[in-house]
Structure 1
Amino acid sequence: MLIRQTSTYMVAHGTSSALGFLSVILFTRLLTPAEYGVYVVALSVAGIVSALLFTWVRLSVLRFESEGEATDIRLTALVAYGVSAATLPVALGVTVWALAVPLDKALAAIVLAAALGLFELGQEILRARLDSTSYMRATVVRAFAAIGISFALVQAGWGGLGLVAGVAGAYVIGALAFSPAIWRGPRKPVDPVTFRAMLGFGVPMAMSGGVFALHSALDRLLVAYLLGDAAAGVYGASADLVRQIILFPALSVGSAVVPLAIRALAEEGKAAADAHLTRSGELLLAVVAPAVVGLAIVAPHFAALVLGPEFRDTAAVLVPILVFAWLFHAVSQQFVQISFHLAKKPSLMVAHGTAILIVNVVAMTLLVPSFGLKGAAWSLVIAEASGVVAGYLLSRRAHPLPFAWRPILKVVAAVLIMAVPTAFVGGSGATGDVATFAAAVVTGVLAYAAAAFAFDIAGVRSLVMQRIRPGSALT
């Protein structure tokens, strides 16, 4: 089940990341750094607003709806979304007057936040009900719509705001196009008791979501404040490049892990949930770690080939740093925080996010004024690494996470085996040479695949052997 679900989510997030990657390539050529910075700031504000207003709804859906087929809180969750959406005018006022964001940018960010919240609500319903196929299709449709609408609006002269509007429109299209799969009957009526339970579970989640969103946006917003929209655009393009590549394998695993872990705990008990978490942790590292190290090695080639001329040199420096921030981010978000979901202790998630935010603020305050964009990138690495440690310690008060050294050492060994020949091949040609870049990528993939098979990482060798035997079945 884990492998099957993960494979489907990988198609979904892989397609989305590929199109997001294409979007970065395209729009760093069509927009100036300052125009791209408008998109970066609006997206950051939208992420904070969406987290504060809608995280409690979607995470409540994931936690309660995942308990089994007999559970149905969809209509109650829809009412909860409506209640949160009613406060959007207040959020607009705060964004304009308290944060001093211009009205056009603030309005675009608020619309994007509402669209994002609606789309993610539907996706969490599909995910909780283990309908990974519909989840995949909605993700793919949304990704294609985003790049198509955004391109049309940018070409029409809307600049960075066109990119924001295109992304918002795509979220609405994705939510509406798959509403039959999300809301099909039979449906249980709105339940006030369930709504109160969602509030009790979700309000701390909203606080946590706001904290994590602020942490995620802090580097971009602070860069924009201190160094201007152009610097934020260059930094944001580098961060987007990393996010599109690292987030897709992390989300592919994480999307399957949480609902299956909740169901295993509810139906089979702690031992089954822990066995699932151990397998999932190994799988998460197995797919994310090689992507992180490989991207760090080929970053100069990669930036020269895919980004616009005004973005390349800075990205070549920032990407090898930012990839490690996203490695730690993936471990925190897609593995460590499962503990708080399983134990239904969202207050610990708030504590986890607050710890990361505090470290990030201190590091940014110390490093950005002196080191500029590199200081912002290193601050993010320090904060995310601290988050993994803090989250694991906090998990001892929730559902203690299983910890096994052997899977970690196997992945580390395989990544080292991959890194050496990849670095050698990548350094053999001129920066930006397509043939050198392709040869380095192929070398890394083949080296890691061979090592993963030899070490039986995430059971890949066992799975292959099982598949080639008559009567075998994928589990």
Structure 2
Amino acid sequence: MAVIAAFVVNAVLNLALGLLIAQILGPADFGRFALGTAGAVVLNILLFEWLRLSATRFYSERVRAAEPWIRAMLDRAYAATAIGLTGAALLALAGRPAFGEPALLAAAAAGAAIGIGLFDYQAALARARFVGGLYLRLVLVKNGLALVMMVGTAWTTRDAAAVMLAGGLSQFLAALFVHRALGDPPTAHEAARRRESLRLFMAYGLPVVAANVVYQLMPFANRSAVAAAAGFAEAGYFSLAADIGGRIFSTLGAALDLLLFQIAVLAAETRGHEAGEEQVARNGAVVLALILPSAAGFWVVAPALEAIAVPEAYRGHFVGYTLLLLPGLVALALMNFALNPIFQIRRRTLPLVAAGGLGALVNLVAALALAGPFGPAGIAAAQSLGFVAALLFLGLRALTGPGRLRMPWRDPLAVVLATAAMTAALLPLRGLAPWLALPACLGVGGLVYGALVWRFDIAGLRSAVLARVGRGVPAA
């Protein structure tokens, strides 16, 4: 429960923080901030993600005691990468007199990536050891520091690069806060074992990294194209819609993935490969049961959300971009949290690269075709088409053929029908005044969808709740 609480807090504070930064910086500087932050995310995934993935897949309390060289390898690899990235940040900063603002944003992106990488690593270690209380403290400290440091920096400097650095520093300091509590006792072991672990982790993690880099480069390239074609202010409008929607769905999916994937790993480790795959299949149904109705609800309340929460300078753009980007954001969340774990539990991650390549190709072709007649809106639509194409490819690879995952189709069909019923109930409320429409849609949507889930035990959620209440222990 502490992990779920951490993600609820994280989601709310991240949403508020994004809106505050957008309000203070204004569309043009927020466009620069969003573009640089996207670059920091790409750097983090490219350099640190395979180690984070390895920590969540191969590190546990058992491994901590029995195979200490695994943690030693992870620590050394993180330290070496961080040192190299620090050098790259200093080189980019030295190039500012010649290259101006792009060099400054590049240096800030590299600095922020170091903080993001260390925070994600500590969070992954807490996940792997199921220390929910420590994870909650880590998230609370990070969000408290980010709120003070990023908002304060934005208010005093109005500088996108400085706000990015403040964000990276807040995550770095939060990671240092729990570093000692998550440390392992020093144990003698052979260097050869570290090298063997390194080869295993690279073979497992690098295909996932390659796919994720492509998925992050697509929004980065699209934002850059919007900025080049229509200016940084238009990139700011695009980025705010993408960031708010992306945070909602990534946070929802990650909140489940934190627990569900570790349960699948534990099942595979203790009861065999088939048990791990069965758990992954159940996990996928649960993820779909959360993501799909959330997407439908977000579509319904987007106009009310724009009127109530979105800064005035962005109004009139937020809803349009949200509706174009929403299919892609949902597709990306389903890939990351429902389909990718199928290949991760099998340690066969190469299909993820093919899906990413196909998505990038569709994005490029669609952007070239749509940007002329539709402008930035065409680029947003192209991004969604790319992510949907990747989702369809990966879904076909995972759920069809002789090696397909055995998943009963009752649950996905039930989720679609229940979401359709919820949407039909909400549509008459969409025309209400914003302050009435938002709470009415949240209340009615929750009641309708929750009642259907409970009545038909969609994705086994009713059984899981009853098992938890009846036994007082977490249901797998």
Q: Which residue of 1 aligns with 2:82?
A: 85
CA distance in 2, matches of 1:15, 1:268: 34
Q: Is contact 2:276–2:345 with CA below 8 Å preserved after alignment?
A: no
Q: Which residue of 2 aligns with 1:169?
A: 169
Q: Secondary structure at the match of 1:362?
A: helix
Q: Is contact 1:75–1:188 with CA below 8 Å preserved after alignment?
A: no
Q: Which residue of 1 aligns with 2:421?
A: 417
The 3 A distance-change label for structure 1 pair 203 and 322 is: closer
Do residues 14 (structure 1) and 13 (structure 2) align?
Answer: no
TM-score (norm 1): 0.90
Aligned match for 1:309, one of 287, 307, 312: 312
* Deviation at residue 132 of structure 1 after TM alignment: 3.1
What is the count of residue pairs matched by the alignment? 465
The 3 A distance-change label for structure 1 pair 116 and 279 is: same
Q: Is contact 1:33–1:310 with CA below 8 Å preserved after alignment?
A: yes
Deviations 1:383-424 (A, max 9, x none): 111111211334479974333221011111211221112111
Deviations 1:223-242 (A, max 9, x none): 22322211111111111111
Aligned match for 1:328, one of 312, 326, 331: 331
Q: Secondary structure at the match of 1:402?
A: coil
Q: Which residue of 1 aligns with 2:377?
A: 374
Report the more deviating stretch, 126-135 or 141-150.
126-135
Q: Secondary structure at the match of 2:312?
A: coil
CA distance in 2, matches of 1:217, 1:59: 22
Q: Is contact 1:212–1:353 with CA below 8 Å preserved after alignment?
A: yes
Aligned match for 1:48, one of 18, 42, 54: 42
Report the more deviating stretch, 91-100 or 230-239.
91-100
Q: Which residue of 1 aligns with 2:258?
A: 255
Q: Is contact 2:280–2:342 with CA below 8 Å preserved after alignment?
A: no
Report the more deviating stretch, 410-419 or 100-109.
100-109
The 3 A distance-change label for structure 1 pair 67 and 366 is: farther
CA distance in 1, matches of 2:381, 2:372: 13
Report the more deviating stretch, 127-136 or 307-316.
127-136
* Deviation at residue 187 of structure 1 after TM alignment: 5.3
Q: Is contact 2:289–2:415 with CA below 8 Å preserved after alignment?
A: yes
CA distance in 1, matches of 2:170, 2:282: 35
Deviations 1:133-176 (A, max 9, x none): 32232123212221211111112124323421221111112210
| Equivalent position amino acid for 1:411 in 2 | V
Q: Is contact 1:242–1:323 with CA below 8 Å preserved after alignment?
A: yes
Deviations 1:15-52 (A, max 9, x none): 11101111133222212101101110110111111121
Do residues 363 (structure 1) and 366 (structure 2) align?
Answer: yes
The 3 A distance-change label for structure 1 pair 199 and 405 is: closer
CA distance in 2, matches of 1:27, 1:338: 34
Aligned match for 1:282, one of 272, 285, 293: 285
CA distance in 1, matches of 2:129, 2:188: 14
Q: Which residue of 2 aligns with 1:451?
A: 452
Q: Is contact 1:18–1:244 with CA below 8 Å preserved after alignment?
A: no
Deviations 1:277-312 (A, max 9, x none): 222111101111111100101111111111111111
Structure 1 gap ranges (5+): 1-6
CA distance in 2, matches of 1:398, 1:217: 37
Deviations 1:294-353 (A, max 9, x none): 010111111111111111111111222322222111111112111222222333332222
CA distance in 1, matches of 2:92, 2:209: 17
The 3 A distance-change label for structure 1 pair 51 and 194 is: same
* Deviation at residue 198 of structure 1 after TM alignment: 2.8
* Deviation at residue 269 of structure 1 after TM alignment: 2.1
TM-score (norm 2): 0.90
Report the more deviating stretch, 405-414 or 366-375.
366-375
Do residues 405 (structure 1) and 414 (structure 2) align?
Answer: no
The 3 A distance-change label for structure 1 pair 197 and 459 is: closer
CA distance in 1, matches of 2:175, 2:473: 34
Report the more deviating stretch, 387-396 or 445-454.
387-396
Residues 165-314 of structure 1: matches in 2 within 5 Å?
A: 165-185=165-185, 189=189, 191-314=194-317
CA distance in 2, matches of 1:247, 1:192: 33
Q: Is contact 1:246–1:323 with CA below 8 Å preserved after alignment?
A: no
Q: Is contact 1:205–1:350 with CA below 8 Å preserved after alignment?
A: yes
The 3 A distance-change label for structure 1 pair 198 and 101 is: farther
Structure 2 gap ranges (5+): none
Q: Secondary structure at the match of 1:185?
A: coil
CA distance in 1, matches of 2:251, 2:353: 25
| Equivalent position amino acid for 1:87 in 2 | G
Q: Secondary structure at the match of 1:31?
A: helix
CA distance in 1, matches of 2:274, 2:353: 27
CA distance in 1, matches of 2:24, 2:367: 30
CA distance in 2, matches of 1:126, 1:240: 26
* Deviation at residue 276 of structure 1 after TM alignment: 0.8
CA distance in 1, matches of 2:331, 2:41: 20
Q: Is contact 2:325–2:384 with CA below 8 Å preserved after alignment?
A: yes
CA distance in 2, matches of 1:143, 1:399: 43
Aligned match for 2:396, one of 384, 393, 396: 393
* Deviation at residue 357 of structure 1 after TM alignment: 1.7
Report the more deviating stretch, 169-178 or 341-350.
341-350
Q: Is contact 2:230–2:376 with CA below 8 Å preserved after alignment?
A: no
Q: Is contact 2:301–2:437 with CA below 8 Å preserved after alignment?
A: no
| Equivalent position amino acid for 1:128 in 2 | A
Q: Which residue of 2 aligns with 1:341?
A: 344
The 3 A distance-change label for structure 1 pair 254 and 94 is: same
CA distance in 2, matches of 1:347, 1:24: 34
CA distance in 1, matches of 2:242, 2:107: 24
The 3 A distance-change label for structure 1 pair 405 and 165 is: same
Q: Which residue of 1 aligns with 2:52?
A: 58
| Equivalent position amino acid for 1:20 in 2 | N
CA distance in 2, matches of 1:185, 1:192: 20
* Deviation at residue 359 of structure 1 after TM alignment: 1.7
